[in-house]
Structure 1
């Protein structure tokens, strides 16, 4: 490794008259610089001792030099750069000095240097690496998560006959766990002859961090059975496993075990207990612990803030936020992500705008990913595009998380070309980036292109996961690719090793049902190895609505209501099927059941972004400041469409309209029509009208949007709950298959 061109203190590499061993031994005992090293409290003092050691020749003694290196590299006021300069002045560093430098770099921000020093040591040092060398260099490999590198060190350990050293084996367990190879970690753990508490901790932590919380807890029980006394490190990992498994009962037992065994409660352990309570949904117990904690840090405050936010108690969350000693970006991220994940994207964006006004702290990757997800929900492409520009201007690394979020945002905001541009601009594409692009093409009705994208993914040797196949099957469903859907579904496990889950079965039932293969769809449900959920029965019920199969619809609806008695979607779908087939008595009876149970249909809501502001409309909405102009435009639209042969499709009054005085105007008052009318009066003719609706678009609104696109010569992009509809020149991208 290259050294600094100008040493801190220039001396010749070899002293002309190095002290004799006898003289050196006397200096060990009598010369002040050596004994004063331990009393140094700053780098400045250490440099003074260093200068004296140079003048007396002490630096050329291996023991003295190693003592100085140790303090330079590992003390509380250490300077690794200075330690390296000192090290490079030593003619023949001993093994202890090499190990010290390797150890210091392994714990630094650049563990690669630890590996490079180790390789240099193999070339320059007269002694071979020993049992103290390997734990440090293996730790560096753990930080870098380079599996082949660590396996190479493992081989060197065996060749050096150090394969039974517990410290080295513990390091290897930690290394394999960090790299995600839990099988190898377990094999090393099992072969460790005399396991100490660190051995158990390493394996428990590996399971916990590897998303195997059940295995972590089972191993902890084994540890208890072996009478190995756990320490605070053990309990932190076990509590983390409880949090991941959402096992509140066992988590409570662990907390009581900590108290009984008198394991010293420290801040890290208290934060782990706090996190467990929050993630297991017990905000009351979390609050009690938080209140009695004598010491709190930003992690403590952020965890309790997250607990209130995730439980939906935003008043208390904001109170905690206001009381925090410092509001770092993690606290802002908690609020933004919790609003976004709970279906409150407008509130999430409001918090982001507030963060922008404060100008500190700066948004990080987590902030932007959560905000992009909120933009995607609302169709807020202006803000989403601004974030994309911000990422470029700040020189932020376009990692896979940001890439996936940008693709998803652009796709859900209607700009498929921009999503493709982002996808094509990045070099590294993991399975989530590919899956996001497949989903983007699928939701825009580009089924064949989505399957081509999947083929290219396989060519690049990226292994598909369950999300990938959900998106591939959705692409087949939206494009009516029945044979292709069957092929992919039945190849999932035998060819790709992905076991079909509930979402995949729901997609396959949808593919078969939409195409009229209701019998095959029913047979697939009956043969499912896992219990069908409401999404599976809902897919069948929706298909029955398309093909008018009342008997099968009743069966599907019955199953849905058994699983979720308050599922308003099941009532609405079955009621619409009854109405289509003229069974009005059944319609009335079904609606009465909903009234008796106080079940209300989710109201249709459509959003449109104009000049960076998102406007929302409900059915029959008159709350908008421009409602007079909007309804005037609707009257104009109705007149122009009528003159072009449009006749309202009354069958689409099957949607629940509970206000009697609105029934005659129900179709024209649908939220997507209000949003389109607002777009016509607010956007220039060259701008596409982009509408996001929370429910499936009804057939009449679909027909109206097609006509408006031709009569007004406008491009309309309508995103409903399931997909995108691109209307242009009187045609829709879905080819009326949706």
Structure 2
């Protein structure tokens, strides 16, 4: 039989008839044989084959048409738009053709087309769905999280001959879990008459993803008791559960179980073990596994980097980064986020600049979010504005994540006006965008505006979550809005369906404590439906310091230290309380107790950004290159303040200094005063001096901030651990309520 070729490699019969002249059956046609033998054909090759099949009228044969459709829909060079057009040319597509296209569309970026094709199949095809059709279309519904459509598919399954098919029921277990209906997912799982390993794996994975790790582990035990041997997929899910729980001992057991039961340690499983060790904080175990792995991919390297960063082994993290065979933007993101999330924001910004200026890579959304978070931590407004400018000039769309990061950055850098501008510029705002703006108003003491924004959020029909209420209660706390805070707290569950959690009780205790209602705060803490957390006792202790209640302060400190015996902040707060009461022997006793336990007070540190450079000051710091000028300015400040009646607040000292001059000198060396002095000599008079303080500002420094803003005519913004203090014309935005 004579043949021709389509291109250099594709033989095609010139005549579809056999040697005896009869019509050749399509199944053994050379074109179809060629398609069976070659799965790496290009789209151009397939189009040429399509043309030849049209010439020989092969597409009217359902089998022949389905073979070509399979190549366009599922091959490495698949072309779905062309496959759809081809499908419409088939006069009588068989069920296989319908299933192939439904399957391919379900895994495409447009899974809703799979549902549309399925609907078309039901209405205009002689074929009924089979055991292969349902899993594919259910997968499409899962991708789109379309609960109604998926439930309707479930109804069709129940009415079909395949209502007990394990393959279909497994897909329904996954579908309901993805849609957040874990109870329905479990009901389907329990209904499966003959479960397979995939059934168990699907349900275990669903529980882990829903953060029901204990339930997942219980199901794992039931799986073993039912005689099913877990495989690598099972263990990947269980290792994820261990990582989420942070349970290293369980993780060790899981790793040992894998070895003892001969479960093949493929790359995916090894990466899961590595990730578990990283999340459990064991960089040593992660390193042992990493070094023993014969095969590694970018996930392996990145996970090891993250493990070191979480363990604060930053030199090791950077070494892993430098040794990586390939560093793309995702790897840089891991390094930047590793620094940013583990207390090294300066290094995060340095790595961000290195990514752009040295590696010449383009940051993506995750890069910008991490860099903006680093700016937030450092109060680095100039750097944050440059990043925002880059986003604008490169036409980045402000999605929820970027909008939230920008609002947070501007709020925490003291530029509330720009934060509001970003918020108003976002067309679609999710609950986190709203909550971030409420938090920004809260930290600046604008409680009434925060409440107005919360009302606006309700008008926009955005449902608040537990974060929203934490922020609105914080706003009430900073603004002294006691009754308003109580109202929101009591309405959380009945009106919004959100049960108050630990953080909400802590906020409420803070609201009452700051307002001097110390006994009410104590009773609230005692009435908590769970063990009162350290944060609640800490809030009460802080309030006792402000209002001078020594007895209740001692009780709060005792409770706090029961929960966190090495909490240096508890000792410092009680020392403050004793110092204010003049009980210096008790101050000395506490300081000795701290020394005996090896505890040290966290040193006060104030930082500020000038011309893109972060400058840091510790108490009594003399390491700055301009130290001599700073101390001269500090002396000048002191003299000018004394001239307008300033007297140092000596109750802020944590030790009994006999010499009055010594007391004054000790107070003058606080880090925020050094930062203010540096700001006066380095920041243009038209600009505000912005300072970030790691601890709560003391009363003396607060008084100095107000006076300097008046005497020098400068705006000073100090962000301490809890809120912003905006000093202007001798007044503070907190109205001396903090």
Q: Do the aligned residues in 1 keep the contact of 2:380 with 2:614 (CA within 8 Å)?
A: yes
Confirm whether residue 31 of structure 1 aligns to residue 29 of structure 2.
yes
1:235 shift after superposition: 2.0
State the distance in 2 between where 1:447 and 1:595 align.
41
1:543 is aligned to 543
Partner SS for 2:25: helix
1:247 shift after superposition: 2.8
State the distance in 2 between where 1:612 and 1:281 align.
34
1:719 shift after superposition: 0.7
State the distance in 2 between where 1:30 and 1:161 align.
33
2:10 is aligned to none
In structure 2, do the counterparts of structure 1 residues 578 and 263 end up closer, same or farther at CA, with 3 Å as the change threshold? Answer: closer
1:606 shift after superposition: 0.9
1:161 shift after superposition: 5.4
1:4 is aligned to none
1:192 shift after superposition: 2.2
1:3 is aligned to none
Q: Spell out, residue by residue over 1:567-586, the C-alpha distance to the aligned partner (whole angstroms, 9 max, x if none).
A: 22222222222222222222
Partner SS for 1:734: coil
In structure 2, do the counterparts of structure 1 residues 284 and 670 end up closer, same or farther at CA, with 3 Å as the change threshold? Answer: closer
State the distance in 1 between where 2:135 and 2:28 align.
35
Partner SS for 1:92: coil
2:9 is aligned to none
**292-301 or 39-48: bigger deviation:** 39-48
Give matches, 1:550-561, under 5 Å. 550-561=550-561
In structure 2, do the counterparts of structure 1 residues 179 and 397 end up closer, same or farther at CA, with 3 Å as the change threshold? Answer: farther
State the distance in 1 between where 2:657 and 2:68 align.
83
1:251 shift after superposition: 2.9
2:687 is aligned to 687
Q: Spell out, residue by residue over 1:554-599, the C-alpha distance to the aligned partner (whole angstroms, 9 max, x if none).
A: 2222222233333222222222222222222222222233333332
1:450 shift after superposition: 1.1
Q: Do the aligned residues in 2 keep the contact of 1:604 with 1:695 (CA within 8 Å)?
A: yes
Q: Do the aligned residues in 2 keep the contact of 1:572 with 1:601 (CA within 8 Å)?
A: yes
Confirm whether residue 650 of structure 1 aligns to residue 650 of structure 2.
yes
Q: Do the aligned residues in 2 keep the contact of 1:576 with 1:655 (CA within 8 Å)?
A: no
1:693 shift after superposition: 0.6
Q: Spell out, residue by residue over 1:596-615, the C-alpha distance to the aligned partner (whole angstroms, 9 max, x if none).
A: 33322211111111122121
Q: Spell out, residue by residue over 1:118-158, the C-alpha distance to the aligned partner (whole angstroms, 9 max, x if none).
A: 34434443323333222111112222223233223333333
State the distance in 1 between where 2:658 and 2:601 align.
10
**248-257 or 613-622: bigger deviation:** 248-257
**331-340 or 298-307: bigger deviation:** 331-340
**468-477 or 242-251: bigger deviation:** 242-251
State the distance in 2 between where 1:656 and 1:434 align.
48
2:12 is aligned to none
Q: Do the aligned residues in 2 keep the contact of 1:135 with 1:168 (CA within 8 Å)?
A: yes
Partner SS for 1:697: coil
Instruction: Give me the CA root mean square deviation.
Output: 2.7
1:303 is aligned to 303
In structure 2, do the counterparts of structure 1 residues 142 and 545 end up closer, same or farther at CA, with 3 Å as the change threshold? Answer: same
1:735 shift after superposition: 0.7
1:722 is aligned to 722
2:66 is aligned to 66
2:197 is aligned to 197
State the distance in 2 between where 1:719 and 1:523 align.
31
TM-score (norm 2): 0.92
Give matches, 1:675-714, under 5 Å. 675-714=675-714
Give matches, 1:105-124, under 5 Å. 105-124=105-124
Partner SS for 2:648: coil
TM-score (norm 1): 0.92
Unaligned 5+ segments in structure 1 are 1-7, 9-17
Q: Do the aligned residues in 1 keep the contact of 2:26 with 2:61 (CA within 8 Å)?
A: no
State the distance in 2 between where 1:521 and 1:281 align.
36
Partner SS for 1:617: strand
In structure 2, do the counterparts of structure 1 residues 482 and 23 end up closer, same or farther at CA, with 3 Å as the change threshold? Answer: farther
1:656 shift after superposition: 9.1
State the distance in 2 between where 1:686 and 1:339 align.
34
Q: Do the aligned residues in 2 keep the contact of 1:305 with 1:320 (CA within 8 Å)?
A: yes
In structure 2, do the counterparts of structure 1 residues 30 and 117 end up closer, same or farther at CA, with 3 Å as the change threshold? Answer: closer
Q: Do the aligned residues in 1 keep the contact of 2:650 with 2:663 (CA within 8 Å)?
A: no
1:15 is aligned to none
Partner SS for 1:718: strand
Q: Do the aligned residues in 2 keep the contact of 1:572 with 1:655 (CA within 8 Å)?
A: no
Give matches, 1:568-583, under 5 Å. 568-583=568-583
In structure 2, do the counterparts of structure 1 residues 360 and 124 end up closer, same or farther at CA, with 3 Å as the change threshold? Answer: farther
Unaligned 5+ segments in structure 2 are 1-5, 7-15
1:328 shift after superposition: 2.1
1:38 shift after superposition: 0.6
Q: Spell out, residue by residue over 1:340-366, the C-alpha distance to the aligned partner (whole angstroms, 9 max, x if none).
A: 222221121111121122344322222
Give matches, 1:42-121, under 5 Å. 42-43=41-42, 44-121=44-121
Confirm whether residue 481 of structure 1 aligns to residue 504 of structure 2.
no
Give matches, 1:653-672, under 5 Å. 653-654=653-654, 663-672=663-672
1:521 shift after superposition: 1.4
Give matches, 1:443-592, under 5 Å. 443-592=443-592
Partner SS for 1:602: coil
1:384 is aligned to 384
1:612 is aligned to 612
In structure 2, do the counterparts of structure 1 residues 350 and 658 end up closer, same or farther at CA, with 3 Å as the change threshold? Answer: farther
In structure 2, do the counterparts of structure 1 residues 257 and 627 end up closer, same or farther at CA, with 3 Å as the change threshold? Answer: closer
2:402 is aligned to 402
1:655 shift after superposition: 7.2
In structure 2, do the counterparts of structure 1 residues 282 and 584 end up closer, same or farther at CA, with 3 Å as the change threshold? Answer: closer
Q: Do the aligned residues in 2 keep the contact of 1:442 with 1:450 (CA within 8 Å)?
A: yes
State the distance in 2 between where 1:624 and 1:54 align.
81
